[in-house]
Amino acid sequence: MLKTENQIIEIKNQKLDFSQRTYLMGVLNVTPDSFYDGGKFFDKKEAIKQGIKMAEEGADIIDIGGESTRPGSESISVEDELSRVIPVMEGLVKEVDVPLSIDTYKSEVAKKALEAGASMVNDISALRFDPRMKNVIKDYEVPVVLMHIKGTPKDMQKNPHYDNLMGEITGYLSEAINVAEESGIDENKIIIDPGIGFGKRLEDNLEIIKKLSDLKSLGKPILVGVSRKSFIGKILELQENERLEGSLAALAVAIVNGANIIRVHDVKESKRVARIVDSIKKGC
Q: Which residues are catalytic?
A: 229, 263
- Contact residues for 233 (Cβ-Cβ < 8 A; gap 6+): 239, 240, 243, 246
How many other CB atoms sit within 10 Å of the CB of residue 247? 24
Closest to 25 in 3D by CA, of 53, 60, 57: 60
Cα distance between residue 273 and residue 260, in whole Å = 14
Tell me the angle at which helices 107-116 and 78-92 cross, rounded to the nearest 10 degrees. 20
Give me the torsion for CA of 177, 182, 188, 189, rounded to 10°: -70
* Distance from the Cα of residue 183 to its chain's centroid: 22
